[in-house]
Amino acid sequence: MAAEIGQLALILAFLTALFQGAAPLLGGQFSTSPLQASIRVATLVQGGLILIAFLCLTYVHAISDFSVVNVVENSHSAKPFAYKLSGVWGNHEGSMLLWALILALYGAALAVSDRASTLKTLTLSVQGMIASAFIAFILFTSNPFARSFPAPADGMDLNPLLQDPGLAIHPPFLYLGYVGFSLTFAYAVAGLITGKVDAAWARAVRPWALAAWVFLTIGIALGSWWAYYELGWGGFWAWDPVENASFMPWLAGTALIHSLRVVEKREALKVWTVLLAILAFSLSLVGTFLVRSGVLTSVHAFAVDPTRGVFILAILAAVTGGSLLLFALRAPLLQSHATFQPVSREGAILLNNVFLVTACATVFIGTFYPLFIDVLTGTRISVGAPYFNASFLPFMALMLVFLAPGAALAWKKGRLKATIGRLWPALAAAGAIGVIAAWLSWPGPIAAALGAGLAIWAGGGAIVDLLIRIKAFSSPPGAAFIRAANLPRAYLGMTIAHLGLAVVIIGVMGAGVWRTEIVRFMAEGDVISIGGFDARLERVIVEAGPNYTAERAVFSVEREGAALRDLTTERRFYPVRGMQTTEAGIWTMARGDLYLTLGEKSEAAGWAVRAFFNPFAVWMWIGAGLMALGGGVAATDAPRRLMRRAPTIDPGAAIAAPQGAST
């Protein structure tokens, strides 16, 4: 019965979304109170119906109802209960329902926030159009409630790679990011229709853009963390096409949140900002197409049915093509009279955005070029890490060069020489770290040393600029703390995020370039030495899990003869799926990770063991957390400053930065 209730809820949600999307077109007058109220109610009803459908799918998974095809194909009676729940979105149909649910929740959040306006009404209408397209996709090609007759005695189990805490929480965060950009896209379309993209528009859009960016940052970080500890290869990023599909909207979204700040502060870069909003969501749809079209074979891919790919391709063409056509027709109306010098905060943001978008283009070309060649000629080629490292990283290096001084420049017109002069401690530290890193790397490549120096320059510059603003060196600590507390949260968030980016880069350089690896066969009692540690294989035991069997190796880790700790690694076999997985043994330290994995056994030589020492690996995820924190702090800026200055007559003045604290 739950499946039928869920099916009915989906059908009603589809009809409601159609009304939500079409009502403004039928009414003609966007600003009438009855129309605004009806769209708001439709948005909330649609969200409630999608939630009912999702709860119904969760219920049939929880009770292992094998009369539902989705449960049969993605669950098993012996699977742990937590993974029965995460299995709801660990498949194509369920993940699309989660996508629709998040889309509906974003719309509902907008519907209950802020006062009614023409902009809000049009934005909700565009959200309704997007929702109706995806609900139609679910109903007509990916029904999660299809019945299986007769019902089998048990299911086929969930992909063992997905039976992991990281994969339980990674997709929801990723979708919160992907789908969040639908709201910035809807605002962009609404702004084009009304012909009004100004500071008020940017203030309305920016919190949603930051929220989507924060969630996508967390989702990508969780995905790389899962790949690091679960796949047993010692790496964290493989430039897999589906990894790239999540990275491209992140790059466009990063450019968008910076560009929105320029529109909010100076009402400049309007056309550029609207185009970035369209690009970020379009790239999110590109990622959806890659995962579900069948054009890729990947640990991330859900579906191999080309009919589904054609449907999503049609949605992508309608969304991207329609919005770009509207952009071409209406962009000339978005005139800006704001002027600024090339050496200014606006100029620096524009320059770094060009670097971000160009870097995004290199990733797009490297991801899709092999697919285009395959379609056109039938020849399969691969584009791997050497291409991406050679084409993407130089643009990121250039961005880091300008990041610190750009963030410290004044709006409209800045003084580059004076700004760099104020940042001399960061410049000195960057030079020293770069030289030391190059010396330690010699005679190897020094590119990583350059990256480390640029990271110190970017992060150190953010810290130095903060200390100068709060007069940390020329006033009592208490006064400096008060000044810091009164700084705009947009500035504080930017500082935290830029510091986080620097920390991420240090981690990437360490774990990606400076890591060491040893592969050897080991019998019980043998020792492998790496990173200053000795790991002795004490024993290998066979254990039974809830739905798998495992070979567990126990290593005792020593340094200079002193015992430090035990480290375990497993090789699991899931009999239902007939698949093996690796559970790495990782000792995480601030200076690096000791990383061990167990491979196949040779009767003559013992077990194959891979050992890595990955310097500063944990810094990648600490840095990603700081970036997400910075985005979250920045997202709270406008509401806080509005409350602090209320009541006021002029809403534009209410969010103006205090004198001397401009961001």
String of DSSP letters for 295-353:
S---TT-----HHHHHHHHHHHHHHHHHHHHHHHHHGGG--------SSSHHHHHHHHH
In a domain, 101, yes or no: no
Section 350-369 average pLDDT: 95
Residue 93 lies in a domain: no
- Say yes or no to pLDDT of 641 above 70: no
Identify the bridge partners of residue 530 per DSSP, sorted by sequence position: 533
Binned at pLDDT 50, 70 and 90, residue 23 comes out as confident
Answer whether residue 647 shows pLDDT above 70.
no
pLDDT band at 304 (very low <50, low <70, confident <90, very high): low
Per-residue tokens: 132: 């109706």
Torsions phi, psi for 46 (to 5 deg): -60, -45
The string over 340-363, giving b where at least 16 C-beta atoms fall within 10 Å of a residue's C-beta and e elsewhere, is beebbbbbbbbbbbebbbbbbebb
For residue 506, what are its two tokens? 């240090």
Q: Residue 465: inside a domain, yes or no?
A: no
661: which strand partners? none
Whose CA is closest to 227, among 240, 215, 213?
Answer: 240
Distance between CA atoms of residues 470 and 479, nearest Å: 8
Task: Indicate whether 277 belongs to any domain.
Answer: yes
Residue 130, CA atoms < 13 Å, CB-side half-sphere: 34
Cβ neighbour number for residue 166 with a 10 Å cutoff = 16
Identify the pLDDT of residue 114: 72
Domain range for 361 is 170-422
Which band of pLDDT confidence, cut at 50, 70 and 90, is reported for residue 299? Answer: very low
Q: Count of CB atoms within 10 A of residue 605's CB? A: 12
In a domain, 626, yes or no: no
How many domains is the chain partitioned into structurally?
A: 1
Q: How far apart are CA 155 and CA 70, in angstroms?
A: 9
Region 126-153: what's the mean pLDDT? 93
Q: Is the pLDDT of residue 638 over 60?
A: no
Which residues 6+ apart lie within 8 Å of 661 measured at CB? 469, 486, 487, 488, 491
**Which two structure tokens, joined as six digits, stand for 340?**
């600024």
Query: Could you tell me the two tokens for 67?
Result: 């009369």
Q: What is the mean pLDDT of residues 410-432?
A: 93
Residues in the chain: 663
Q: Tell whether 392 is covered by a domain.
A: yes
Q: Which band of pLDDT confidence, cut at 50, 70 and 90, is reported for residue 187?
A: very high
Enter the pTM of the model.
0.92
pLDDT value at 129 more than 80: yes
Please report which confidence band the pLDDT of residue 656 belongs to, taking 50, 70 and 90 as the band edges: very low
Longest dimension (CA), the chain: 84
- pLDDT at residue number 492: 94
Residue matched to tokens 């439709």: 42
**Which of 136, 123, 164, 143 minimizes the C-alpha distance to 20?**
123
Which ranges in 28-64 belong to alpha helices (H)? 33-62
Strands 527-530 and 562-574: unpaired
Mean pLDDT of 245-266: 95
Mean pLDDT of the chain: 89
pLDDT band at 294 (very low <50, low <70, confident <90, very high): low
Question: 44: which strand partners?
Answer: none
CA angle 478, 484, 486 (to 5 degrees): 105
**Which of 250, 245, 251 lies closest to 285, judged by CA?**
245
pLDDT at 306: 67
Asked whether residue 397 is domain-assigned, the answer is yes
**CA–CA distance, 158 with 162 (Å, rounded to integer):** 7
Q: Which pLDDT score, from 0 to 100, does residue 26 have?
A: 65
Least-confidence region, from 181-195, 331-345, 387-401, 638-652: 638-652
Cα dist. 297→219, 262, 599 in Å?
21, 41, 24
Residue 428 domain-assigned (yes or no) = no
How much is the pLDDT for 30?
A: 60
Distance CA 180, CA 627 (A): 17
Calpha distance 574→157 (Å, rounded)? 9
Q: How far is CA 577 from CA 160, 182, 291, 543, 580, in A?
A: 8, 36, 21, 18, 9
